[in-house]
Amino acid sequence: MRVADGGIAVCPLGSGSKGNAYWVETAKTAILIDAGFSFKQLSGRIADIGRDIADVEHVFITHEHNDHIQSLKVMLKRHRPTIWTSAGTLRAIRKHLPDGASVKRINSNPENAGDIVAQAIPVRHDAAEPFAYRFDSHAGSLAIVTDLGEWTPDNVKALDGPDVFVCEANHDPEMLAAGPYPWYLKQRIASETGHLSNEQGAMLAAAVVKKGTREIVLAHLSETNNDSSLALEVFGTQLNGKRDHVHIHAASQAQPGPWVRSAVHETAGEKQARGGPSIASLLRRPR
109-166 confidence digits (pLDDT tens): 999 999 999 999 999 999 999 999 999 998 899 999 999 999 999 999 999 999 999 9
Q: What is the pLDDT of residue 280?
A: 32
Q: What are phi and psi of 67, to 5 degrees?
A: -75, 5
What is the arrangement of strands in the sheet containing 21-25, beginning at the earlier edge strand?
Answer: 103-105, 82-85, 58-60, 30-33, 21-25, 9-14, 260-261
Q: Which fold has domain 9-282?
A: Metallo-beta-lactamase; Chain A (3.60.15)
**pTM for this prediction:** 0.90
Residues 8 and 143 sit within 8 Å (Cβ to Cβ): no
Q: What is the pLDDT of residue 276?
A: 36
The span from the CA of 42 to the CA of 238, in Å, is 34
Q: Is the pLDDT of residue 63 over 50?
A: yes
- What pairing do the DSSP bridges indicate for beta strands 164-168 and 140-145? parallel
Output the average pLDDT for the chain.
Answer: 90
Q: What is the pLDDT of residue 270?
A: 39
- The residues pairing with 104 across neighbouring beta strands, listed in sequence order, are 84
Q: What is the pLDDT of residue 263?
A: 72
Number of other residues whose CB lies within 10 A of the CB of residue 207: 25
The span from the CA of 163 to the CA of 260, in Å, is 10
Average pLDDT over residues 91-100: 94
| Confidence at 252, pLDDT banded by 50, 70, 90 | very high
- Looking at the chain, the whole-number percentage of residues with pLDDT higher than 90 is 85
Residues 145 and 168 sit within 8 Å (Cβ to Cβ): yes
Q: What is the pLDDT of residue 244?
A: 55
If we measure between CA atoms, which residue out of 125, 118, 119, 173 comes closest to residue 146? 125
36-46 confidence digits (pLDDT tens): 999 999 999 99
159-187 confidence digits (pLDDT tens): 999 999 999 999 999 999 999 999 999 99
